[in-house]
Amino acid sequence: MTERKPRKDAVRNRSAVLAAADTLFHDYDSSKGVTMADVAAAAGVGKATIFRAFGDRAGLIRALCEVRLEVTMDAITAGPPPLGPGARPQQRIPAVLDALLCFKLDNRHLALALEEAADLGPYRAENYDRWHDLLQLMLEQIPGMTHSDFTAHALLAVTRADLVDHLAGNERVSPEQMRTQLADFTARVLHPYPL
Amino acid sequence: MTERKPRKDAVRNRSAVLAAADTLFHDYDSSKGVTMADVAAAAGVGKATIFRAFGDRAGLIRALCEVRLEVTMDAITAGPPPLGPGARPQQRIPAVLDALLCFKLDNRHLALALEEAADLGPYRAENYDRWHDLLQLMLEQIPGMTHSDFTAHALLAVTRADLVDHLAGNERVSPEQMRTQLADFTARVLHPYPL
DNA sequence: TTGTAATACGGACCACCGGTCCGTATTGTT
DNA sequence: AACAATACGGACCGGTGGTCCGTATTACAA
């Protein structure tokens, strides 16, 4: 019973910050980093308000990502195959990785910021663990699969935001090409091991 | 003929900085980051001297890595198989990746700093391109291999310093385990594709 | 050896960023 | 209307990579 009614200015400001940050990350695509002061200014709010609402920079970015990932996560946890449960791992794993890749392609700066935010790579984010555990569970259902834990890490490493950004930006790889290449690579990893 | 004789104090200071930084990164293993001021103090030198000699933080770290990687690079470019040239790609690629992994295991903080230094991931470092090109060339010799460019990126992503650090530090994976798991994963990627 | 131009030195200094403080303003409640 | 409780915001802080510039050192020529 320690529930308190939140003040309406607080909620209003919270969503204003969220909206402003989303815009900044999305189309203020500049190579310059988005600073907390930027977000505060764009939201018409003091800096402290952001930190009060989200804890720290990582918290804000995490919150943004959760919004952006909501539909994808729903599709994975409760949607139809091949993304949703029910599909065989050989179909579902590529589908999940493709969804993750698409997210990073569609939200390059945001994903980049997320993976830089947690102080030691993306591996502190509780978000990462969700993906890893999901992948690992599916990998374990594949006959002949070894080291499912490591393999899950490895597959996720291939979709790291900075790699995606490098390929898309510097090497001019189109989204479609990247999705195909990731799918082929994944297939290579998943296909039965002819030992 | 624009060659100038370098001043001896400059050379002395340069190596002093290199030595101090190496020590700091290696056994001052603290979780705290190594700052430029730290290095300057440890080397008994002003900060500007470091920047004059190495350009910026990334330059210093790059120089350090080159020293630390020298033997490995020699073994790869001119040593005996399976690391050196002459080995079949199926043997050499795992060997090269294992060597890279060992480097990151032996120089965790340094490798971590290197990959954080270049402003957008490790992909700006000219160092990365060397590894990528080498891998890609070998991959292209494997029958049935597709997307050798992407595959090279993918294999390198698995040895990212922060992943290695996370596995070794947080998940308590022993170096031997990691090497085995990477080798198995690589084998999976390399084995003939039963299309 | 001495004079001098070139080069390097170093620590004060700067810009920037994430994050905090605290006096003030807004809200919800009685 | 009175009064807690809560939120506000911008000045402020600590720390970092990087620069400036007056001074000291070096290489070289006379």
- At residue B121, the pLDDT reads 80
Q: Which residues of A touch B188 (CB under 8 A)?
A: 188-189, 193
Closest CA to B113 of B97, B96, B125, B129: B125
Q: Residues B154, B71: one domain?
A: yes
Spell out the per-residue pLDDT of chain A, length 195, in tens: 556 788 999 999 999 999 999 999 998 766 789 999 999 999 999 999 999 999 999 999 999 999 999 999 999 999 999 999 999 999 999 999 999 999 999 999 999 999 998 877 889 888 999 999 999 999 999 999 999 999 999 999 999 999 999 999 999 999 999 999 999 999 999 987 554
Quote the number of domains for chain A.
2
Q: Is B195 inside a domain boundary?
A: no
Q: Are residues B20 and B66 in the same domain?
A: no
User: Residues B38, B95: one domain?
Assistant: no
Residue B144 counted as domain residue: yes
Q: Are B144 and B195 in contact (CB under 8 A)?
A: yes
Q: Report yes or no: A133 at the B interface, CB cutoff 8 Å.
A: no
Bases of chain D within 7 A of a CB of the protein:
5-11, 15-21, 25-28
Interface touch A182/B150, C-beta < 8 Å: yes
Residue B162 within any structural domain of the chain: yes
Question: Would you say residue B108 lies in a domain?
Answer: yes
Q: What per-residue confidence (pLDDT) applies to B1?
A: 52
Asked whether residue B24 falls in the same domain as residue B95, the answer is no
B3 touches strand D (CB under 7 A): no
pLDDT tens across A32-55, in order?
899 999 999 999 999 999 999 999
Domain that holds residue B3: 1-55
Residue A133: partners with Cβ closer than 8 Å, 6 or more residues away: A152
- Contact across the interface for B157 and A153, Cβ inside 8 Å: no
Q: Which of B172, B112, B153, B184 shows the shortest CA–CA distance to A151?
A: B184
- Which nt is closest to the CA of B2, judged by C1'? C6
Task: Provide DSSP, chain A.
Answer: ----PPPHHHHHHHHHHHHHHHHHHHT---SSPPPHHHHHHHHT--HHHHHHHHSSHHHHHHHHHHHHHHHHHHHHHHS-TTTSBTB-HHHHHHHHHHHHHHHHHHTHHHHHHHHHHSSSGGGG-HHHHHHHHHHHHHHHTSTT---HHHHHHHHHHHT-HHHHHHHHHTS---HHHHHHHHHHHHHHHHS----
> Do A91 and A123 belong to one domain?
yes
Final residue of a domain: which of B36, B55, B74?
B55
Q: Which nucleotide lies at the shortest CA–C1' distance from A44?
A: D9
Partner-chain contact B189 A188, CB within 8 Å: yes
Which residues in 49-108 of chain A line strand D, with CB less than 7 A from it?
49, 52-53
Predicted pLDDT at B14: 98
pLDDT at A136: 98
Q: What is the pLDDT of residue B164?
A: 98
> Does residue A195 form part of some domain?
no
**What are the chain A neighbours of B129 within 8 Å (beta carbons)?**
none
CB within 8 Å: B163 and A157 = yes
End residue of a domain, out of B55, B83, B100: B55
Are A50 and A141 found together in one domain?
Answer: no
String of DSSP letters for B164-195: HHHHHHTS---HHHHHHHHHHHHHHHHS----
Element (H, E) at B25: helix B8-26
- Grouped pLDDT means (10 residues each) for chain B, 195 residues: 80 98 86 92 98 98 97 98 96 98 97 88 89 98 96 98 96 98 97 64
Tell which B residues from 112 to 131 touch A, by Cβ distance under 8 Å: 112, 120-123
- The domain that holds B143 is classified in CATH as 1.10.357.10
Query: Nearest CA to CA, how far is B195 from chain A (Å)?
Result: 10
Within this chain, do residues A127 and A146 fall inside the same structural domain, yes or no? yes
Answer yes or no: is A87 within a domain.
Answer: yes
Q: Could you tell me if A66 and A131 lie in one domain?
A: yes
Q: Residue B61: how many CB atoms within 10 A of its CB?
A: 24
Q: Do A121 and B166 touch (CB under 8 A)?
A: yes
Question: Is any Cβ of chain B less than 8 angstroms from the Cβ of A147?
Answer: yes
Report the pLDDT value the prediction gives residue A70, as an integer from 0 to 100: 97
Residues B183 and B134 in one domain: yes
| pLDDT at residue B139, rounded to an integer | 98
Q: Are residues A15 and A82 in the same domain?
A: no
Report if residue B89 sits inside a domain: yes
Q: Tell me, what CATH number does A36's domain have?
A: 1.10.10
**B55, B74, B101 — which closes off a domain?**
B55
Looking at residue B122, what is its pLDDT? 87
Whether residues A22 and A75 fall in one domain: no
Q: A127 and A90 in one domain? A: yes
- B141 is a domain residue: yes
* Nearest nt (C1') from A9 Cα: D7
Q: Between chain A and chain B, how many beta carbons pairs sit less than 8 Å apart?
A: 92
Contact B153 A167 (CB under 8 A): yes
Within 8 A of A112 by CB-CB distance, chain B residues are 120
Q: How far is the CA of B29 from the C1' of D30 (A)?
A: 55
